[in-house]
Amino acid sequence: MGARPAGPLFAAALAMAACTPAGGLSPTRAATAPVATSPGLPDAATVTASARATSIAASWRRIPDIPTARSEVAAVLFRGGIYVIGGFGGGNVVERYDIGLDRWSRAPDLPVSVDHAMAAAIDAGDGAGIYLMGGNAGAPIARAFVLAPGANSWREIARMPNPRSQAAAAVLGSVVYVVGGFDGARLVAPTYAYDVTTDRWREVAAILT
Tens of pLDDT, residue by residue over 53-108, are 556 667 899 999 999 999 999 999 999 999 999 999 999 999 999 999 999 999 99
Q: How far apart are CA 69 and CA 136, in angstroms?
A: 18
Taking the alpha carbons at both ends of the chain, their separation in whole angstroms is: 26
| Dihedral sign, Cα of residue 15, residue 21, residue 23, residue 26 | negative
**Third-level CATH fold of 74-204:** Neuraminidase (2.120.10)
Q: What is the pLDDT of residues 18-53, one digit of tens each?
A: 333 444 444 433 433 444 444 555 555 545 555 555
CA 28 to each of CA 22, 25, 58, 87, 200: distance values in angstroms, whole numbers, following the listed order:
17, 8, 15, 43, 51
Q: What is the pLDDT of residues 81-93, one digit of tens each?
A: 999 999 999 999 9
Q: How far apart are CA 169 and CA 5, in angstroms?
A: 11
> Within 13 Å and on the Cβ side, how many CA atoms surround 59?
6
Q: Domain boundaries in the chain? A: 8-57, 74-204
DSSP label at residue 2 = -
101, 103, 109, 114 alpha-carbon torsion, rounded to 10°: 120
Residue type, 139: A
Residue type, 35: V
The number of helices, as runs of H, and strands, as runs of E, in the chain is: 3, 12
